[in-house]
Amino acid sequence: MKKIQILAIALLAISCNDDDAPQLINEEEVITTVEVSLTNLADPTNLVVLKSVDNDGDGPNEPVFTVTGTILANTNYLGSTRFLNEIESPVDDITLEVLEESLEHEVFYLTTVAGLTVIKTDTDTAGNPLGLRFDLATGAAGAGTITVILKHEPLKPNDNTPTGAGGETDVQVTFNVTVQ
């Protein structure tokens, strides 16, 4: 019996060795940054950037929204959207993954600004809308919100609404905008 005790203690002792610090894991799939760029088709110097940055991912800090440039009324803009993970170094451009898996993704744009329309101009490999590139046309001056929603594994084709598309929400950010 004593032998068993000694054996048990010995076995316990053997495994008490590794005490090295764990390796840091940076969240690889978190999207910290959503950036929507609008370029005035008639005036390339009229550039508008809508940006949402949540630098701690799923942490407690709220995303920070910035809008640079002026959205003009009755204007056609060429739009594009980028998704970044800025926790990683170098910064990981998740837009590339969305493009690569275009069949499993779609970006939706919702707005409360009267007269503002968004038409997706790019398609996935099956010819259905993808939404990373789009045309944005403004009507009369006004204020409201633009919401960008990235869906993973949505129903495709769909009725161009996030509700009808189902899937999982990977991004849902809302920008306050003013059309002047």
Partner 1 sequence: MFFKNTVFVIALFCAVLTNAQECNFTLKGAIIDFHDGQRLEAAQLYIRELNIAAVTSATGTYEFKDLCAGSYTIYITHIDCEPKQLTVKLSANKQQDIFLEHHIDQLQAIKIIADVHDDYQSTQSSTRIKQETLQEFRGATLGDALETVQGVTALKTGNSVVKPVIHGLYGSRVAIVNNGLRLQDQEWGVEHAPNIDVNAINTIQVIKGASALRYGGDAVGGTIVLEPARFIKKDTIKGSVTLQGQSNGRGGTITSQLDRYRKSGWYQHVTATAKRLGDFEAPDYVLSNTGSETRALHLTTGYESLAYGASVTYNYYDARIGILRASHIGSAADLVRSINAGQPFVVNDFTYAINAPRQEVVHHALQASAYKRFSGVGKLTALYSFQLNNRLEFDIRRGANANRAALDIDLQTQIAALHMLIDVLPKTTIEMGIDGAYQVNRPNPDTGVRRLIPDYTSVKAGGFASVLYKPSDVWILDAGLRYDHFMIDASKFYIQSRWESLGYNEQYPQFEVAQQGNQILTNPVFNYDLLAFTAGAKRVFNEHYDVALNLSTANRAPNPSELFSDGLHHALATIELGRLDLKMEQSFKLNAIFHANVGKLDLEINPHINRINDFIQLIPTGVETTTRGAFPVFQYEQVNAQIAGIDLSAGYDFWTRKTLKQNGNSSELTYDVVKMAHIDSRFSYLHGQNLTMNEPLIDMPPVQFTNRLTFYNVWKKLDVYVANQTVLEQARFPDYDYEAPVPQNDGSFVNETVRISQPPGSYSLWDVGISYEKKQFLGTQGAARVSLVAQNLLNTTYRNYLNRQRFYADEVGRNFNVQLNYHF
Nearer to partner 1, 88 or 122 (CB): 88
Separation between Cα atoms, residue 136 and residue 112, nearest integer Å:
14
Q: Least Å distance between CB 138 and partner 1?
A: 14
Kindly identify the residues of this chain, within the stretch 53-72, that bind partner 1 according to CB under 8 A.
54-63
Amino acid at the residue 122:
D
**Parallel, antiparallel, or unpaired: how do β-strands 92-93 and 117-120 relate?**
unpaired
**From candidates 22, 44, 90, 127, binder to partner 1 by CB under 8 A:** 22
Note whether 110 binds partner 1 by CB under 8 A: yes
**How many helices (H) and strands (E) are present in the chain, helices listed first?**
3, 10
Q: Is 162 helix (H, G, I), strand (E, B) or coil?
A: helix
**From candidates 12, 44, 45, 90, binder to partner 1 by CB under 8 A:** 12
Note whether 30 binds partner 1 by CB under 8 A: yes
Note whether 136 binds partner 1 by CB under 8 A: no
Q: Least Å distance between CB 154 and partner 1?
A: 9
Kindly state the helix (H) or strand (E) to which residue 39 belongs, with its residue range: strand 33-40
**Parallel, antiparallel, or unpaired: how do β-strands 142-152 and 105-111 relate?**
antiparallel
Q: Is 107 helix (H, G, I), strand (E, B) or coil?
A: strand
Which positions touch partner 1 (CB under 8 A)? 1, 4-5, 7-9, 11-12, 15-16, 18-19, 21-34, 52, 54-63, 87, 89, 94, 97-98, 100-101, 110-113, 144-147, 149, 152-153, 155, 161-163, 166-174
